[in-house]
Structure 1
Amino acid sequence: MRWGLRPRGPGATALASARSFWGPPRLPCRLGWLGATRRLLVRSVTGASNQLTNPNSGKYRDTVLLPQTNFPMKLLGRQQPDMELEIQQKCGFSELYSWQKERKTKTEFCLHDGPPYANGDPHVGHALNKILKDIANRYHMMRGSKIHFVPGWDCHGLPIEIKVLSELGGKAQNLSAMEIREKARSFAKAAIEKQKSAFIRWGIMADWDNCYYTFDRNYEAKQLRIFYQMYDKGLVYRSYKPVFWSPSSRTALAEAELEYNPEHVSRSIYVKFPLLKPPPKLASLISDSSPVSFLVWTTQPWTIPANQAICYMPESKYAVVKCSTSGDLYILAADKVSSVASTLETTFEVISTFSGADLKNGTCSHPLIPDKVSPLLPATHVTMAKGTGLVHTAPAHGMEDYSVASQHNLPMDCLVDEGGIFIAEAGPELHKKAVLEEGTDVVIKLLKNSKNLLKEEKLIHSYPYDWRTKKPVVIRASKQWFINITDLKTTAKELLKTVKFIPGATLNAMVDMMDRRPYWCISRQRVWGVPIPVFHHKTKDEYLINSQTIEHIIKLVEQHGSDIWWTLPPEQLLPKQVLSQVGGPDALEYMPGQDILDIWFDSGTSWSYVLPGTNQRADLYLEGKDQLGGWFQSSLLTSVAARKKVPFKSVVVHGFTLGEKGEKMSKSLGNVIDPDIVINGGQDQSKEPPYGADVLRWWVAESNVFTEVTIGPSALNAARDDINKLRNTLRFLLGNVAGFNPKTDSVPVNQMYVIDQYMLHLLQDLASKVCVN
């Protein structure tokens, strides 16, 4: 019954009195706050046709108003996805973005899309991210803003190149650089089309006609311009340094391209470095009659051949101890005497203790190369957390080791090639052996033969792996291109104070990651990417890059794309005025370099190509927490380097998707959730029913996205139940406004009943709270 009906019969006087209190008199059949004047409709109650006819039936028919709608309470089986497709097509979903862009509004909201990688099928991680972005965009659109959202794809790099080569098998070895690039481009394009179709099916509102792609020639040209701006400011340089190196991919990797395997097994060893020249302050303490050795622990035995020094902590106490088993004298940190003795299954008698500073100017013999001297050097990176308090130092295979070597002018020779194989200089026993496999075996065997190995044991610990090949990496010195982020960190951290991070703690996490990064290696030894636009001298360690060469290359790239680096002869890659200065076309002294830019530099410069206006600052970046050390950081650093600005006003960071029990998804566990199967159902639809895109979107909307987000049958069924409850509510509302005409039936707010005005007030109050929070 409608409370808007004119009162009749008993109690009418009381009801009329109440009405006079709650609001002005109303015409009969006025529908609450909507106030629709309309004919009363009667609908039969289910089963009424089987009842006996009552002569009084129908007496109150004209006084009953029941909902009337064709909107179903539930959509079963294929009805849900089929109805969604029909609505998308009939209602012009594809035109929604262009429609809202044409509106006359005072504000614009820009969400910059972090480009997903174009190397596979769409997955639930994509769904979580894209739907979250769509929710943010639609919220701001409903608030009256014009939305700027240009989707993009990360199209270059190692993962795509490796996939292409692995599919080709043995044929890949005979491919030219251009053949690899063409196949990689085709592969990326196919992946983009799959992902784009899925994103559109999920209901994502975006500028699908003007997507950005990092392999687009105009994008590449813009990227090269940013590179040169940074080079011209002295922020880009070439140097010989240790970097993370993937033997399986044969290229340098950035920190963001690593995955840490917590179950990696290393062969850790305790090694003796015989004392050669006692430190002057300890000469009287150490007699010539009793040989003394320094004890060192390492988890990377293969680096011992490259040892150049032993580092100690000057502020710590060290001890000379006597081993009860062998009678040998050892030097190690005083705090580590007990734990090391226990590990070696012996006892140590402490002969004397002294300050680490007293080790100054002492030297040791190399445990594998008797005539080689390893000096004792102070260092700040030595800790007492593990090992012996003395650190084996191989400058070609450690970041801190390199720093020590730079201070003390130590050799930094690398004995390992691009494939992780010992080179000839490592010695005949090690030559051509893989450092992480047989090479480690041989090093340990050689240490045993020289009687300098005290113990070997297996250690399970977290170790960096190549994010694509899933194989362990090494640290290896090589000539690479770097960005000097030391000069950028201070400015970047200051500018981050103007950015709103959600959750707030992610700001500190991002700053911590940036602080731990000593430098950013931006060169890769592959072919599928944007070339580093530098020419190298054929015989000297010199390179050529200037404003003339870069402008010439940028023009060529704008016209033909970055393929020109591999298709044009060197003399055409140089401008005429420069060519004449470097030997001319017939005696050219320089050749194009073979390195390409890191894909994080690729995607990190997207702000310069995509963001609108002169300020080029997005209202929002929204990505997973892995991007705190990835795209968020590369975007920040390139923007600060090029123009001393941050590219975002706000950053929202969401968690990862996990299986229903909180476990990582994997094919072997059988818990991988495919968004396409969620929407359309699987082969056995009794086990994998078609939920439709609305359920997938609801799962995202109701999840706490700031932690890990679980998904599985229970979560999807719960989301479907919620959708059905929502449908039931909408069905009731639609049934009650059937035939309602806003032009003739609406009631001005000031003419509504007080209780109706109060309901609207509560609704607006709720909306305000939601918008504020």
Structure 2
Amino acid sequence: MLLCRVSAVTHTLAGWARRSHRGGGLLLSRAVSISSGRCHGVSPGENSAQPAEGGSAQALYRDTVLLPRTEFPMKLTGQKLLDQELQIQQECGFAELYSWQRDRKAKKGFCLHDGPPYANGDPHVGHALNKILKDIRNRFEMLRGRQVHYIPGWDCHGLPIEMKALGDLGTSGLGPLQIRRKAREFAEGAIARQKAAFQRWGVMADWEHCYYTYDGAYEAAQLKVFLEMHSKGLVYQDYKPVFWSPSSRTALAEAELEYNPEHTSRAVYATFPLVTLPPKLASEEGLENVSVLVWTTQPWTIPANQAVCYMPNAQYSVVKRADNSQLLLVATERTASLAALLHTELQSICTLSGSQLQGGLCKHPTIPDKQVPLLPANHVTMAKGTGLVHTAPAHGMDDYSVASHFKLPVDCMVDEDGKFTDLAGPELQNLPVMTEGTDKVISLLKESSSLLLEEQCVHSYPYDWRTKQPVVIRPSKQWFINTASLKDKAKEALQKVTILPESARSSLLAMLDSRTYWCISRQRSWGVPIPVFYHGESREPLINKYTVAHVAKLFKEKGSDCWWELPIEALLPPEVLKKSKAGPASDYVRGEDVLDIWFDSGASWAAVLEESDPRADAYVEGKDQLGGWFQSSLLTSVAVRNKAPYKSLVVHGFAVSEKGEKMSKSLGNVVDPDEVINGTKDGGLPAYGADVLRWWVAESNVFSEVQIGPSALNSARDSISKVRNTLRFLLGNLHGFDPRLQTVDPTQMRYVDQYMLHLLREFGMKVTDAYSEFDAGRVVRILQAFITRDLSSFYFSVIKDRLYCDAEDSLGRRSCQTALEEILDGVTRSVAPILPHLAEEVYLHTPGHETGETLFRSGWIKSSSVWRRPGLEEAVEGACAIRDSFLSSIPGKNPNQYELTIAIEPGLLFELMESLQEESTSTTSQLVELMMAARVNLASDLPRDLHPDALLNHGTFLINLEGGVIREDSPYSIAVTPTSAARCPRCRRYTAESADCLCPRCSGVVSQAH
């Protein structure tokens, strides 16, 4: 026997793809199509051995056939499905699972830090995508024995909540505490709705100890981070341009903007007459009346102009217009496009380098007697415009950098409502800069003959993401974090972080680079107050480690409402003032700004993660967090402790409609997860239940946009139905089997059963790897391939006769049931993180468990090295190669009606087949079972007296042992002839002597039963 002879051989799986075959494709890779549909190529639920109605002999033996029996329902729909899921959650202790696993001993932990969703509305499919994706990984880690740390949280502050809480009331007449009370009530209601939904989806978490950014302890931890950063000089107050939202009257961070690509501006080309020529131009004759030409999409900023900037290493030209002889200074490479725009020729008079423009002075186009210099700047580009940039330091980040370098004034002419102040002059005062103000400035340019051209410009422009209104850039006294000093450290920390998909790394780095500074103060009431006091007369800020530490202690005890509730003497007690070397508390007033919500949530690592190692294994959020929570968490953590707060980042896409459109109520394409689970009242959506929602998440490519709609949900339901049907088949055939008493030792099992355990082991390893890489989609594909190819199309087809017709307690049947029990266990556990309700339902019906035991408290897929036996693969796969040749010889016919003769020259392949059939001819051997034939004859060559109608075929099988050390390309021949035997009335195989008598196997089983 070869299996005995090579028992010491360790071989490498050559793989089906490396096998060499002739005479038909490999059966394991495709379904067998047999016209009779019995005993092969059938679905798991089909009864291959059930006698047809009518035949008296068949009816006589019907009750002796061991058909599948189980109370596990084939299908659950509607209210029964919903009731079942809720019952499973109750019976199987879903609510207690998190605390149970926290209490058990574990060698390793797994920390997934939950990014806080906004507490500003009902749960939506974006929540479902995010929370279920996290839960799949958490449940997998818990199953494989790790102690999971997952505390769900909510971002409770910010303008969205404040606006929704106040509704039409506005803030007029309401004090900070009134506004905060209403905002908190609104947030609490949203949290309750979202939390209930997350629990209904089966998300395992510490629901009794969630974190909330409005909680006093959280706020205190946040202030500790703020203090650390302030102590290191990273937090400072300054007067500089920030994104300002006139519609919500507050400063905004870059992460609080959304860019409207369809924004339309009135762009202008305006002239700035040169009153002092640069030396190079002064030396040329006839250039006394040259004007610098600039282009801007924001004409309202021209009254704040303090300079015109050029690129030092670019080339510039003085050109003469052919239509009116006007002289203009522009970038040489922009001349052709400007000529086309002006519909005239532009004749070059002279050229010079950008650096030769130094020393030039221009007349301001709207302010008489004001002159502005020509200055070099690196931010000037040649992509659009004239190559010369109008510079208003109060209204641009790059412009402000120029002003800082050259000590230019930063005069703000725009108030908090986005209107011109009196500094802009009586003609502009009180006009909204984006509308009437722009109109008036353009009118002033016309009056001074400085307007060369006006055009409509459609371009991307920043909007307030809450109010959906355009923002402006204006200077304001705000609190900032110096991100420039943190960027290099942050980039270094990111080198040690795994990012999925890796392509998201460049986006994260680009957004980090583009952040010149981070404005962290907001002019709102609903948030964490910035713990700063101002001197009543000098307005000098009072902020140090003593004042901040005291305020943090108060917040932890009383919550941040105490900032407004307590008298100033309680916020600044004598001992704090003494350490601060400050005057009496009455000299100070409390600050009115609150912290940016991105600072709120970005400090969550300090408030939520375990102190022993406040670094999460993973952060998992949507791609919008590349410039949001991922970044604010990174910057705060790097600032305080020089390392990232996460070991890996998982960046998923957004949920969109089935047409790929962003969901919106106006388009009517919003998919409500509650309606997905419970169905719609109008019947538009059936009740799919939570597991369908979870399968949708799992099978999707979450690293791109994830489509959801009826077709995606129906597909998910159908996929689950196939899994359910397979599990039901396994359960049905385990009726009466107790794995604790009747399990067969692997070495005594049939080879095909052992082979399936070998495949199950490989399946388990692949599934484990996929879950470990956050690739639930790969898990689904591996599972479906295993069920369809290895189980339904191959194994179930082969074993049905043995399962149904062998004696109940026979070694062959128990061997099969041993394999089926392991397969059931492995498949159920493999799908459990995705379909916890189905998995626990199956587990309740699985034999051999203690009462009250649940799947999620009993571990991950079991595997044994015993299942990988040398020579086993070659024996079964060699037989399957021969079977392919056999079936290809009788396309569409029932193989059970044929006798097969296999001829193999002496060698390894012959010994492998001999291990499956020791006799030269048999109707009951393991080889016969694999071939699904009536009889198999095994010989070293084909007999000479073959039936004249015999079908001949040939093929080869490549045996690969010891990792290629032993390789043998083994040829074989087969002869296929119709069998002369009759069909047994009990098992319906063609192995009986006559139609009215049982075959020997069935005769023995029936007589033993009686």
Give the Cα separation in 2 of the matches to 1:314 and 1:498.
39
Structure 1 residue 62: deviation in Å? 5.0
Within a 5 Å distance, the mapping from 1:710-749 to structure 2 comes to: 710-749=707-746
Give the Cα separation in 2 of the matches to 1:529 and 1:659.
34
Q: What corresponds to 1:174 in structure 2?
A: 173
Q: What corresponds to 1:526 in structure 2?
A: 524
Q: Which moved more, 1:436-445 or 1:760-769?
A: 760-769
Give the Cα separation in 2 of the matches to 1:142 and 1:286.
86
Give the number of the structure whose alpha-carbon radius of gyration is greater.
2
**1:652-676 deviation line (CA, Å, top 9, x unaligned):** 1111111101111111111011101
Give the Cα separation in 2 of the matches to 1:750 and 1:648.
47
Structure 1 residue 536: deviation in Å? 1.1
Q: Which moved more, 1:549-558 or 1:239-248?
A: 549-558
With over 3 angstroms needed to count, the CA separation of the structure-2 counterparts of 1:77 and 1:578, relative to structure 1, is closer
Give the Cα separation in 1 of the matches to 2:511 and 2:58.
78
Give the Cα separation in 2 of the matches to 1:227 and 1:703.
40
Structure 1 residue 496: deviation in Å? 1.1
- Of 686, 704, 707, the residue aligned with 2:704 is 707
Structure 1 residue 80: deviation in Å? 2.1
Structure 1 residue 55: deviation in Å? 5.0
Q: What corresponds to 2:192 in structure 1?
A: 193
Q: What corresponds to 1:129 in structure 2?
A: 130
Helix, strand or coil at the partner of 2:226: helix
Structure 1 residue 91: deviation in Å? 2.0
Counterpart residue identity of residue 327, structure 1: S
Give the Cα separation in 2 of the matches to 1:252 and 1:627.
20
Give the Cα separation in 2 of the matches to 1:374 and 1:19.
93
With over 3 angstroms needed to count, the CA separation of the structure-2 counterparts of 1:736 and 1:55, relative to structure 1, is closer
Q: What corresponds to 1:584 in structure 2?
A: 584
TM-score (norm 2): 0.70
Give the Cα separation in 2 of the matches to 1:92 and 1:355.
77
Give the Cα separation in 2 of the matches to 1:399 and 1:101.
49
* 5+ long unaligned stretches in structure 2: 8-44, 771-1010
Q: What corresponds to 1:271 in structure 2?
A: 270
Helix, strand or coil at the partner of 1:454: strand
Within a 5 Å distance, the mapping from 1:672-683 to structure 2 comes to: 672-683=670-681
Q: What corresponds to 1:465 in structure 2?
A: 463
With over 3 angstroms needed to count, the CA separation of the structure-2 counterparts of 1:61 and 1:158, relative to structure 1, is same
Question: 8 Å contact 1:22–1:755 — kept in the other structure?
Answer: no
Q: What corresponds to 1:766 in structure 2?
A: 763
- Of 281, 295, 308, the residue aligned with 1:310 is 308
Within a 5 Å distance, the mapping from 1:137-176 to structure 2 comes to: 137-165=138-166, 167-169=167-169, 172-176=171-175
Give the Cα separation in 1 of the matches to 2:403 and 2:217.
43
Counterpart residue identity of residue 284, structure 1: S
Q: What corresponds to 2:619 in structure 1?
A: 621
**1:589-645 deviation line (CA, Å, top 9, x unaligned):** 221111110101100111111111422111111111111111111111111111112
Q: What corresponds to 1:690 in structure 2?
A: 687
Helix, strand or coil at the partner of 2:78: coil
Give the Cα separation in 2 of the matches to 1:227 and 1:143.
38
With over 3 angstroms needed to count, the CA separation of the structure-2 counterparts of 1:577 and 1:726, relative to structure 1, is same
Counterpart residue identity of residue 181, structure 2: E
Q: Which moved more, 1:294-303 or 1:325-334?
A: 325-334
With over 3 angstroms needed to count, the CA separation of the structure-2 counterparts of 1:45 and 1:712, relative to structure 1, is closer
**1:706-738 deviation line (CA, Å, top 9, x unaligned):** 111111111111111111111111211111122
Structure 1 residue 50: deviation in Å? 12
- Of 561, 570, 573, the residue aligned with 2:571 is 573
Give the Cα separation in 2 of the matches to 1:96 and 1:298.
61
Q: Say what the alpha-carbon RMSD is for the aligned residues.
A: 2.2
Q: What corresponds to 1:115 in structure 2?
A: 116
Structure 1 residue 292: deviation in Å? 1.4
**1:199-219 deviation line (CA, Å, top 9, x unaligned):** 000010111111000000000
Helix, strand or coil at the partner of 1:155: coil
Structure 1 residue 51: deviation in Å? 5.6
Q: Aligned pair 1:284/2:277, yes or no?
A: no
- Of 329, 332, 337, the residue aligned with 2:330 is 332
Helix, strand or coil at the partner of 2:258: strand
* 5+ long unaligned stretches in structure 1: 1-16, 24-42
Counterpart residue identity of residue 151, structure 1: P
Give the Cα separation in 2 of the matches to 1:276 and 1:349.
22
Question: 8 Å contact 2:51–2:59 — kept in the other structure?
Answer: no
Within a 5 Å distance, the mapping from 1:584-603 to structure 2 comes to: 584-585=584-585, 588-603=586-601
Give the Cα separation in 2 of the matches to 1:111 and 1:684.
39
Question: 8 Å contact 1:278–1:286 — kept in the other structure?
Answer: no
Structure 1 residue 681: deviation in Å? 1.1
Give the Cα separation in 2 of the matches to 1:328 and 1:399.
33
Q: Which moved more, 1:295-304 or 1:494-503?
A: 494-503
**1:513-535 deviation line (CA, Å, top 9, x unaligned):** 10111011111111100011011
- Of 358, 364, 367, the residue aligned with 1:366 is 364
- Of 495, 498, 510, the residue aligned with 2:496 is 498
Structure 1 residue 432: deviation in Å? 0.7
Give the Cα separation in 2 of the matches to 1:58 and 1:50.
8
Give the Cα separation in 2 of the matches to 1:760 and 1:657.
39
Question: 8 Å contact 1:549–1:575 — kept in the other structure?
Answer: no
Give the Cα separation in 1 of the matches to 2:334 and 2:2.
87
**1:382-420 deviation line (CA, Å, top 9, x unaligned):** 000000000000001001000000010000011001111
Structure 1 residue 768: deviation in Å? 1.3
Structure 1 residue 49: deviation in Å? 13
Q: What corresponds to 1:101 in structure 2?
A: 102
Question: 8 Å contact 1:333–1:388 — kept in the other structure?
Answer: yes
TM-score (norm 1): 0.91
**1:277-323 deviation line (CA, Å, top 9, x unaligned):** 111222022536x5211100000011001000000011111011111
Counterpart residue identity of residue 249, structure 1: S
Give the Cα separation in 1 of the matches to 2:88 and 2:406.
71
Give the Cα separation in 2 of the matches to 1:45 and 1:620.
48
With over 3 angstroms needed to count, the CA separation of the structure-2 counterparts of 1:20 and 1:508, relative to structure 1, is closer
Counterpart residue identity of residue 727, structure 1: R
Helix, strand or coil at the partner of 1:718: helix
Give the Cα separation in 2 of the matches to 1:333 and 1:250.
39
Q: Which moved more, 1:535-544 or 1:192-201?
A: 535-544
- Of 442, 451, 454, the residue aligned with 2:452 is 454
Give the Cα separation in 2 of the matches to 1:302 and 1:548.
45
Q: What corresponds to 1:644 in structure 2?
A: 642
Structure 1 residue 76: deviation in Å? 2.6
Q: What corresponds to 2:514 in structure 1?
A: 516
Number of residues of Structure 1 aligned to a counterpart in Structure 2: 730
Give the Cα separation in 2 of the matches to 1:44 and 1:138.
34
Within a 5 Å distance, the mapping from 1:48-447 to structure 2 comes to: 56-61=57-62, 63-165=64-166, 167-169=167-169, 172-285=171-284, 287=286, 290-447=288-445
Question: 8 Å contact 2:319–2:327 — kept in the other structure?
Answer: yes
Q: Which moved more, 1:749-758 or 1:92-101?
A: 749-758
Give the Cα separation in 1 of the matches to 2:341 and 2:623.
39
Question: 8 Å contact 2:123–2:194 — kept in the other structure?
Answer: yes
Question: 8 Å contact 1:582–1:590 — kept in the other structure?
Answer: no
Q: What corresponds to 2:552 in structure 1?
A: 554
Structure 1 residue 99: deviation in Å? 1.9
Question: 8 Å contact 1:605–1:635 — kept in the other structure?
Answer: yes
**1:77-99 deviation line (CA, Å, top 9, x unaligned):** 33322221222122221111122
Question: 8 Å contact 1:582–1:589 — kept in the other structure?
Answer: no
Counterpart residue identity of residue 103, structure 1: R
**1:350-389 deviation line (CA, Å, top 9, x unaligned):** 1111111111011001000121111000000000000000
Give the Cα separation in 2 of the matches to 1:317 and 1:565.
58
Question: 8 Å contact 2:51–2:62 — kept in the other structure?
Answer: no
With over 3 angstroms needed to count, the CA separation of the structure-2 counterparts of 1:606 and 1:360, relative to structure 1, is same
Give the Cα separation in 1 of the matches to 2:325 and 2:126.
60
Give the Cα separation in 2 of the matches to 1:110 and 1:745.
41
With over 3 angstroms needed to count, the CA separation of the structure-2 counterparts of 1:398 and 1:45, relative to structure 1, is closer
